[in-house]
Structure 1
Amino acid sequence: MTACYDVTIRHQRHGPFSYGLVSAGEAWLVDLDNLPRLPRGLGWLAGFRAADHLGAPSQSLRENLDAWLAEEGVERPARVTMLAQPRVLGYVFDPLTVFSLYDRHGRRTGVVAEVRNTYGGRHCYLLSPDENGTAEVDKAFYVSPFNPVEGRYTIRVPEPGHALTVVVTLHRPDHPPFTATMTGTRTDGASLWRSLRRPWRTRGVSAAIRWHGIRLYLMGLRPYPRGGHA
């Protein structure tokens, strides 16, 4: 099972002034036990690597996720899908990776949301979505420099079908919510060759985040210190 989605990524800030950014990208839904690969000798062009996610680079993505779940007291799932971006021509920036956990009956039993910031740090949240794919969790990781490490997330991650929807809303006391969304539709021909036709997309998301950070700074916002959350 491999699927590729053309997605639109939106960030919307409602305070102290209204400001939003929009960028285009790709998101891949893959099975951790059957990752898509290019022919031998061409894997460096595009692919999914353990070094780009949680755990030890010397282990597989599945082994690293299983080890992290064991530390959290979660039984090894029968199957895991990952919603992420591949490394293309030596580069990847994946702000949010969603691992969906399934039991042997095919029921989704949980979600791991792996968040990555522009400083090279990452953090995983263990979620238990309801029947609508919605879960809540306290913020515990420094992401945007213009938001402190406080507040609570509402995360909506329904299982992808023909359409893909991911919504992350940050709630902070006495502040309007900050919302990030990723929406898209499934495309035909889910081959890693597809990513090589538009290799700038993952770089474009990273560049857009940095450019809009500069604009927010010029508009008067100031970064919060990273502290030990980086």
Structure 2
Amino acid sequence: MTTGKSIPHHIPAVTMHKRRGAVSHGFRYGVDYVLIEPEVDQPTPLLFSRNRFNLFSVHDIDHGGPLKQGRGAVWAREVMADHGLTDPDLKLYLLTQPRFLAYVFNPVSFWLIYRGTGLIAVIAEVSTPFGDRHSYFCNDGNFAPITVKTRLEKPKALHVSPFQEIKGGYEFGFGVLGDQIAIRILHRNGEEGVIATLSGPRQPMTNLGFVKAALRRPLGALRTIILIYWQALRLKLKGATYRTRPTPPEQEVS
């Protein structure tokens, strides 16, 4: 990824989920992400805004902290400092689904932390339809550059799906290249678990790109939450065990 002149990107991506275990299940959907540098005043097309209403937008209140109480990049810098990353020259990017009109729901967003041109850490910000959020600070321990071959492991801490236990751990893989995004999250829990991927080309933001996105997926982020409930119904009908929501972790980041 180039960290010279900051240009916001639109990623018309595909997400894939595959459940392993006694009740197998899978789906594949198109989804729109954007990649922005939230601390920089970037030039954006007419149909995209920061912290104000538009067809597509990203608001600080949606990220960095509890759901609907976010503090944006200020929060991310505090998390970085807690992990020893205090160099002001470190670059911070946000990869996320934008609001569509006024609605937003992000199952997972990613704060990308760069030293020069090297990705050295990622904060994976996981949110649930139950109103909970927990973030995972991912690095190799020495802040070596994260490549497409790097695998970073974290224990699972948050109840994300009522059909999955809070057991086992995640294996994260981050492929953030100049022309594409390819992220892989594997939840391991014995013989069960879930593989989730997000992949797509990086394109400069344009009004035409956002118009095409709105026509392809006219409900935007609202479509995401509808599909989550649809897949939950399919799993229930297949006989998957439903688990009630436990108390979320008090710790905001692990």
Per the normalisation by structure 1, the TM-score is 0.87
- Corresponding pairs, count: 228
Q: Secondary structure at the match of 2:106?
A: coil
The residue aligned with 1:143 is 160
List structure 1 segments (4+ residues) > 4 angstroms apart after TM superposition.
35-42, 56-60, 191-199
SS of structure 2 residue aligned to 1:205:
helix
Pick from 32, 43, 46 the counterpart of residue 38 of structure 2.
Answer: 32
Greater shift, 156-165 or 83-92, is seen at 156-165
Residue 55 (structure 1) aligns with: 65
- Cα shift at 1:85: 1.1
Q: Counterparts of 1:35-184 in structure 2 under 5 Å?
A: 43-45=52-54, 46-55=56-65, 60-76=71-87, 78-103=90-115, 105-128=116-139, 130-131=146-147, 132-173=149-190, 175-184=191-200
Structure 2 unmatched runs, 5+: 1-6, 141-145, 250-254
Deviation string, structure 1 residues 14-72 (Cα, Å, up to 9, x no partner): 22122111211111111122265676899312321121112387875211211233334
**Residue identity matched to 1:55:** G
Q: Distance between the aligned counterparts of 1:42 and 1:29, measured in 2?
A: 15
Match of 2:221 among 193, 202, 215: 202
SS of 1:112's equivalent in the other structure is strand
Following superposition, the deviation at residue 113 of structure 1 comes to 0.6
Identity of aligned residues (%): 23
Provide the rounded CA distance (Å) in 1 between the counterparts of 2:188 and 2:15: 19
Aligned partner of 1:216 among 212, 230, 235: 235
Q: Compared with structure 1, are the counterparts of its residues 181 and 59 closer, same or farther at alpha carbon in structure 2 (3 Å cutoff)?
A: closer
Change (3 A) 1:76 1:97: farther
Unpaired runs of 5+ residues, structure 1, are: none
Residue 90 of structure 1 and its aligned partner are, at CA, apart by 0.9
TM-score by length of 2: 0.79
Which secondary structure does the structure 2 equivalent of 1:214 belong to? helix
The Cα RMSD (Å) is 2.7
